[in-house]
Structure 1
Amino acid sequence: MLVESEHLNAPPSADTERADIVRAVIEEIRPNLQRDGGDCQLLEINGNKIMVRLTGACVFCKLASATLEGIQARMVERLGEFVRVIPVAGGAKAQPLKIGH
């Protein structure tokens, strides 16, 4: 059963495990995006919100929303809980990943 969860009292090891799963999902989809000149960067994990930045060809692609929905569906499947993938606009400069509650 999928449950929306903010993980307010999750132990640090659970946060690390969740972050590893999220990173793995992003890394799985990146080659497909890169093949078409795009990319996806993980910016922040804050509870059930996962902020990503689409770059390159993905920025102006008409199918970007479908791409984000697919990423979200795969994360929900792998994590076993509801998460929201939120696109963040901005330059392609990578920033440190933040993991919050």
Structure 2
Amino acid sequence: MRKGVNQMDIKEQVQEVLDKLRPFLLRDGGDCDLVDVEDGVVKLRLLGACGSCPSSTITLKAGIERALLEEVPGVVEVEQVF
């Protein structure tokens, strides 16, 4: 039961960080959607221009993942899902 509570806390924290990053994504015509968080792995779907941008891997790893690793205890990786 406790794991479920912790998992929800992590999802809420991840969503808060994504909400802070969202204006930067929107400025470039993109966005992201939180699909799931499982065992510390955040699964995101990149939307709009971000979904087809050649720089999306850099945005995902150097931008979003770095921010989540710094701000959300328990996050170990960010993966893009399609």
Structure 1 and Structure 2 fold alike (TM over 0.5):
yes
CA displacement at 1:56 relative to structure 2: 0.7
> May I ask how many residue pairs the two structures share in their alignment?
81
Q: TM-score under structure 1 normalisation?
A: 0.71
Select the structure that is richer in helix. Answer: 2
Cα RMSD (Å) of the superposition?
1.7
- Residue number in structure 2 paired with 1:73: 66
> Aligned partner of 1:34: which letter?
L
Render the CA deviation track for 1:61-81: whole Å, top value 9, x for unaligned: 121011111111111111234
Partner in structure 2 of residue 94 of structure 1: none
Paired-residue identity, %? 32
Tell me how far apart the structure 2 counterparts of residues 71 and 85 of structure 1 sit (CA, whole Å).
8
Segments of 4+ moved more than 4 angstroms:
none
Higher-Rg member (1/2) = 1
Q: 1:31 aligns to what?
A: 23
Sort the Cα spacing of 1:81 and 1:44 in 2 relative to 1 into closer, same or farther, 3 A: closer
Aligned-residue offset at 1:58: 0.7
Higher relative contact order (CA 8 A, sep 6+): 1
Q: 5+ unaligned residues in a row in structure 1: which ranges?
A: 1-8, 90-101
What residue number does 1:84 align with?
Answer: 77
